[in-house]
Structure 1
Amino acid sequence: MTGLTTVELPGLPVRTVLDDVSAALDAHGSAVLVAPPGTGKTTLVPLDLARRISARPAGPHRVVVAEPRRLAARAAASRMAALLGEPVGETVGYSVRGDRKVSARTRVEVVTSGLLVRRLQNDPELHDTAVVVLDECHERHLDADLLLALLLDARAGLRDDLRLLTTSATVASDRLADLLGDAPVVTAHAPLHPVDIVHRPPDRGERIEACVARTVHAALAEHDGDVLVFLPGVAEIDRVAERLDGVDADVVSLHGRLPAQRQDAALTPGPRRRVVLSTAVAESSLTVPGVRVVVDSGLARVPRIDHRRGLPGLATVRVSRAVAEQRAGRAGREAPGVTYRCWSQAEHTSLPAYPEPEIRTAELSRLALELACWSTPDGAGLSWWDPPPEGALTAGRTLLTTLGAVTPDGLPTARGRRMASVGLHPRLARALLDGADEVGPRAAAEVVALLHPRRRPTDLDPELPPLPPAKDPPARRWQREVARLTALTRDRGASHRDTERPHDPAAVVALAYPERLARRRPGGTPVYLMAGGTAVEVPPGSGLGDSEWLAVADATREPGRAHGVVRLAAVADEELALRA
């Protein structure tokens, strides 16, 4: 505990309100901290709370910080540990999916919101935790909204001494304070440097990647300092990076799918000027040093669900004005800066004020399973920021019943509890656990590790053998995930036998998506009719050949098309269709 008791915290703006935060928590038990990015709320507040709690003679002594993303959790823990002059895993540690660095000496633990939901299900009293800090509440991620509702319930019924602090860069603080029982609101003001706003909309017919790249070239020529570029996803990052080949700067990427070493490198100043191409992870929960210029595409990728067709996916949407302001502020954290917005001033006035909460638009089967495990299948009695829409929640519960995860009255089955403990979407959890019995643990894990909506091949069968074991980064990520998932089948009491069984990816896909077993329509057409009633089309050159039956893992509906489009599938047969 020496580091906590002796460290001199940096003079960041939030330091001036640390006493107010502590007093609010002592007096009320909960509080709202509103502080812009760069004020130190993510790092200084947990360390200060842990220092104060360590002076108490008895009771829980751990501060748990919930972040919306794994990348943010790791970065926050690394920053706090560095302030203490210690390695991660001593006084400050983190726990995220597939990676954990904590010890008996850990007093501040940074976790993802989803992981804390699981921990709360297993230990509703959070017996070793004194304070939970919910960071970046304004982002309104589904796991974070669920976590807040469950924590309020646990605090009301089991742990009235549990302190709860919500922090946010931009938020309707009155609504959140009311949800926390008229909690006090503490505000830290950041004297940001001035930021000039320049609008550079695309030319007629110009793709957003071309507009962004053109604007980056102009920014490098007109201004000093590093350039932070906001793009909606990895595909756009790759395309912009190609267009920036040859610029007099280091072009680096920053997103959640990168290895930890490359993520850390993007957050560390380099010997040369840098252009950092980032997804939304750099909006608030991460600080990229050296930035003087921001180029904002004005786009974000968010979960969406087509309830009529039952096809989930990711949609690219315009950002809200609040998010645009937050992104722009990154240019003025260290010095006067400039932000280029790749849209017009007229478009800006039509943007929504705040981002749409994920709970209103996402597929809710995983949330429904967590609610079932919390013994409140319909979520009644919980205090929600925004309650889950009745139709989406009912659809989620119907799917869980189909998968055998809940009973008709909404209570979790033994299988459902095992599925929830895995931490995957219920479809994938069922495919992993039941697939381990049917085709073997590793074979099931290999297929489940590929069932991701961001992948774009269409033929699952040849997707496994070509993944090389050595230098290819996607292959290494896949191998690590396969190893992790294989271990989960052993940890969760699956009844499989470790024997060789026929390679059958379609069987695993059918366990996850029984309603997506599909049969080709007559006449040699590339259109298939899925068991759930939705027609989907196989794109040319997919590698699926003339298969009569398919087990469809991923399909999306694109505007202007009569049918869904198959993105990932395995060749099936009539026997599997009848068995499923």
Structure 2
Amino acid sequence: MSPPAGSSPPTAASAGGPDLPVEHVLVDVWQALDATGRAVLEAEPGAGKTTRVPLYLLEQDPDLRIVLLEPRRVAARAAAGRLASQLGEEVGRTVGLTTRDDRRGSAATRLEVVTDGVVLRRLQRDPSLSWVDVLIFDEFHERSLEADLSLAFALDAGAALRPDLRVLVMSATIEGPRVARLLGDVPLITTAGRAFPVDVEHRPAPVGFRGLAPAVSDAVGALLPDGDVLVFVPGAAEIRAVTRHLADVDLPQRAVILPLHGSLSGADQDAALRSAPAGHRKVVVATDVAESSLTIDGIRGVVDAGLSREPRFDPATGMTGLVTVPASRASAAQRAGRAGRLAPGRCIRLWPEREHAARDAHPRPAILTDDLTGAALEVAAWGATIGELALLDPPPDAAWNRAASTLVELGAVDAGRVTTQGRELNRLPTHPRLGHLLLRGREEGIAQLACEIAALLADRDLFVTDRDHPSADLAARVRVLRGGRPPVGVRVRRGAVGRARKDVARLARHLEALDAGGSRAARSVPDPDPELAGRLVAQAWPDRIASRRAGQRGRFLLAGGRGATLLDGDVLAAADHLAVATVDRGDREARIHLAAAIDLDDLREVAADRIHVEDEVVWRDGDVVAERRERLGALVLSAQPIDGDTAATRYDALLQGIREEGFDLLGWNDAAVDLRARVAFLRHHRGEEWPAWDDGSLLDRLDQIVGPFLLRARRRADLAQVSMETVLRAQLTHAQLVELDHLAPTHLAVPSGSRVRLDYGAGEAPVLAVRVQEMFGRTTTPTVLDGSVPVLLHLLSPARRPVQVTDDLAGFWERAYPQVRAELRGRYPKHAWPDDPRHAQPLRGTRRR
């Protein structure tokens, strides 16, 4: 890599002069790459690494082909512009630029600035890396999936095919030693940034979304006298709210209010980066796109809402939701540092200082949080397993397994190997599901519609809706994309329409390239019916095909089993079936954002391999239901009663009914209740030689205990005819039945000659409820269990009202009876109440004294 003799490298302009801190380590970087081929440069914000390092390498050897990876399009555009300006050139000569929608280069280009997705595509097309000598990964701390995979593939290919490839990883906040180890214990070069002191002030956190804009406005007003202000908020909705509020308040200086986020046009992004007009301050309201990889002129103050919006993928549901989380400490430091690039600055953080230490040290890398389907396809197309690649963090098993199963579902991978369709999907610059949608549209002759839907789903929504004017309909968006009118009350983002139309053309070109001349793509009819959108979406997301719940507008069940909702006012809320493209997890049910209606015939056609027809005999809605059901996952597309079912098929349904609703479905009489209680009494006193008949134990052996008595039952009403006394007696041997009657009899004879029923279900001892007079002449308490357990006497009045409860009859006669006698003589004067009941004649009825 030593420079050739007589070379005349391009010379950087003085904008990147020797006052930049990175200048002091440029020689170290060159020597490390020359000696080992790999290095890590950890440079604090303001060090000038993006501005100087690539050009310095080119100065040492102008024949080098250098590719500089930036994590975002806006950062790539800005970096290319700065690098070219230092050479006194326009982008497209020595310094080129390649992003999804911007390509500028020439035969003279030696330094190309690209997004990491571009490098991933090139690596897959040419693993020998014949197109590059030095790969520089800038702002690696952002840890996109594409950057992680590009680095892993580059290291893999370098080891096998290109030992001369040079790899430099640069960042401000990464854990340098970890990255250096990943690259093979390579040199770690560090440098400070060019930063002035920043005074950090913490304020109370604003309350909710509505409180954010006023809190930001107050902070901007405090900082604006010092210079331009950069505001960090989590997303585009917050940017709109803050810019509107700032436009309506009196600021201490005249100021232009400018948004900055990745969905803006290049011109709008450039406006935010330029200096403010003369006589004005500038307030840039940005997402985290402005944290580290952009230079924004004039910033002296930063307002940090302390929030980031990040995707979170749920492998259990296959859904991704954007969540708002506290920004990491590293991000907060990057944001604050923006105020100290030019002079001492100030940063106002909208969260209490005591909460700062509890934040994550670094942002979570995408490989730990995102949908990994695209990454899994890249790895399969590369011909490796995930465990064979050099990754800073391995993916979570659940998310990776979900991604792998999705690829099998899409026909992209078979037996662990990428298929022909998988390779086609990998060549398309979209998520594999959108690629699948494009391929299906090509096969069905509606490629134009497929490109339109893919473009709509890959970028910001065209529509601005509200609760009074909701619209999730993809077909309506296709009509607007073709020049039609939006639904009533819906506002259209014209910038998003323009971008989507460009993407439609770009995707169409990619499809034509797959077809080696466009033979199949050319079959697309012009302007296919937008109502066919549901067919394509259903094939890309078969687990999100939805059916409306019976009688419920706007409430659906997804084929994957989760509930989902639409606002009542949405035109799709009354559709019987939907193909859902965009949905978030919601709280109790998912929320549908973008979908298309699909009729049942189309659904059956496109999902034919997933639909199963089965005869189903189940317990539902309180009875046995026998139906022939057409199923798609959790959905029932149709159901017809069937008559040919057998007793065996109803058997399981009846057992399930008992499990769901309990044993009250069966025939319980007093004898059955008593039998269960008597056996429970014996089990309590004699142990496990007697069976357990509580509900849980009976349910555990339901098929053995109750099953044999259900063979002729067909429906709920038949269960009441099953005698539980018979069922339970069948569980006891003859010897146990005899012993049961001896140890725990159903009745006891009392002195009056009556046989009185015992109640074994009232407690540990059975209860004998008997009139006092019938116990005259008895001096001891009756017992059961061979005399070992006295019964609990409930002594009653002649009218069978409670008088006394005792398990000591002798004690009752001696101590309590005299008072009881006095009370009963007053209430029942016609009855005999002897002085000495122990020797009196027992009475069943009334006998005069």
Are 2:128 and 2:162, in contact at CA under 8 Å, matched by a contact in 1?
Answer: yes
For 1:213, the equivalent position in structure 2 comes to: 217
For 1:110, the equivalent position in structure 2 comes to: 113
How far, CA to CA, are the matches of 1:335 and 1:468 in structure 2? Answer: 50
Q: Does residue 309 of structure 2 align to residue 319 of structure 1?
A: no
How far, CA to CA, are the matches of 2:246 and 2:482 in structure 1? Answer: 29
Matched AA of 2:192: H
Q: Does residue 135 of structure 2 align to residue 132 of structure 1?
A: yes
Q: Report the Cα offset of residue 471 of structure 1.
A: 9.5
Are 2:51 and 2:83, in contact at CA under 8 Å, matched by a contact in 1?
Answer: yes
Matched AA of 2:447: P
For 2:556, the equivalent position in structure 1 comes to: 528
Alignment of 1:396-407 (within 5 A): 396-407=403-414
- Which of 84, 89, 95 is matched with 1:92 structurally? 95
Q: Report the Cα offset of residue 74 of structure 1.
A: 1.0
Q: Name the SS of the counterpart of 1:353 in structure 2.
A: coil
For 1:461, the equivalent position in structure 2 comes to: 475
How far, CA to CA, are the matches of 2:310 and 2:478 in structure 1? Answer: 28
Of 294-303 and 457-466, more deviation after overlay is shown by 457-466
Change (3 A) 1:460 1:203: closer
Matched AA of 1:215: A
Q: Name the SS of the counterpart of 1:499 in structure 2.
A: coil
Q: Name the SS of the counterpart of 2:241 in structure 1.
A: helix
Are 1:468 and 1:475, in contact at CA under 8 Å, matched by a contact in 2?
Answer: no
Matched AA of 2:177: D
Q: Report the Cα offset of residue 439 of structure 1.
A: 4.6
Q: Name the SS of the counterpart of 1:346 in structure 2.
A: helix
Q: Does residue 71 of structure 2 align to residue 68 of structure 1?
A: yes
Q: Name the SS of the counterpart of 1:187 in structure 2.
A: strand
How far, CA to CA, are the matches of 1:277 and 1:537 in structure 2? Answer: 33
Q: Does residue 91 of structure 2 align to residue 77 of structure 1?
A: no
Alignment of 1:36-435 (within 5 A): 36-54=44-62, 61-204=64-207, 207-220=211-224, 223-246=225-248, 247=251, 248-271=254-277, 272-376=280-384, 378-407=385-414, 409-435=415-441
Gaps of 5+ in 2: 1-6, 464-470, 484-491, 608-849
Are 2:197 and 2:345, in contact at CA under 8 Å, matched by a contact in 1?
Answer: yes
Q: Report the Cα offset of residue 4 of structure 1.
A: 1.2
Q: Report the Cα offset of residue 453 of structure 1.
A: 7.6
Gaps of 5+ in 1: 56-60
Alignment of 1:438-517 (within 5 A): 438-452=444-458, 455=461, 457-467=471-481, 472-493=494-515, 495-496=520-521, 497-500=523-526, 501-503=528-530, 504-517=532-545
Are 1:405 and 1:412, in contact at CA under 8 Å, matched by a contact in 2?
Answer: yes
Change (3 A) 1:397 1:204: closer
- Quick check: which has more Rg, 1 or 2? 2
Are 1:37 and 1:285, in contact at CA under 8 Å, matched by a contact in 2?
Answer: no
For 1:571, the equivalent position in structure 2 comes to: 597
Are 1:435 and 1:507, in contact at CA under 8 Å, matched by a contact in 2?
Answer: no
How far, CA to CA, are the matches of 1:35 and 1:466 in structure 2? Answer: 47
Change (3 A) 1:314 1:453: farther
Report Cα offsets for 1:263-321 as digits up to 9, x if no partner: 11111102121000111111111111100000011111112112222111322111111
Q: Report the Cα offset of residue 461 of structure 1.
A: 1.9
Change (3 A) 1:342 1:439: farther
Of 465-474 and 531-540, more deviation after overlay is shown by 465-474
Matched AA of 1:87: E
Q: Name the SS of the counterpart of 2:97 in structure 1.
A: strand
Matched AA of 2:35: A
For 2:32, the equivalent position in structure 1 comes to: 24
How far, CA to CA, are the matches of 1:546 and 1:136 in structure 2? Answer: 48
Report Cα offsets for 1:179-222 as digits up to 9, x if no partner: 111111111212411100011223556633332233223322xx
Matched AA of 1:219: L
Matched AA of 2:412: A
Q: Name the SS of the counterpart of 2:247 in structure 1.
A: coil
How far, CA to CA, are the matches of 2:493 and 2:181 in structure 1? Answer: 52
| Matched-pair identity in % | 45
State the superposition RMSD in angstroms: 1.9
How far, CA to CA, are the matches of 2:529 and 2:91 in structure 1? Answer: 44
Q: Name the SS of the counterpart of 2:55 in structure 1.
A: helix
Q: Between the two structures, name the one with larger relative contact order (CA 8 Å, sep ≥ 6).
A: 1
TM-score by length of 1: 0.94
Report Cα offsets for 1:127-169 as digits up to 9, x if no partner: 1311100011111111111111111111111111100000010
Of 125-134 and 516-525, more deviation after overlay is shown by 516-525
Q: Name the SS of the counterpart of 1:338 in structure 2.
A: strand
Are 1:31 and 1:164, in contact at CA under 8 Å, matched by a contact in 2?
Answer: yes
TM-score by length of 2: 0.65
How far, CA to CA, are the matches of 1:180 and 1:508 in structure 2? Answer: 43
Q: How many residues align?
A: 569
For 1:58, the equivalent position in structure 2 comes to: none
How far, CA to CA, are the matches of 2:283 and 2:497 in structure 1? Answer: 27
Report Cα offsets for 1:53-102 as digits up to 9, x if no partner: 226xxxxx200011110111111111100000111010000111122111
For 2:734, the equivalent position in structure 1 comes to: none
How far, CA to CA, are the matches of 1:191 and 1:562 in structure 2? Answer: 49
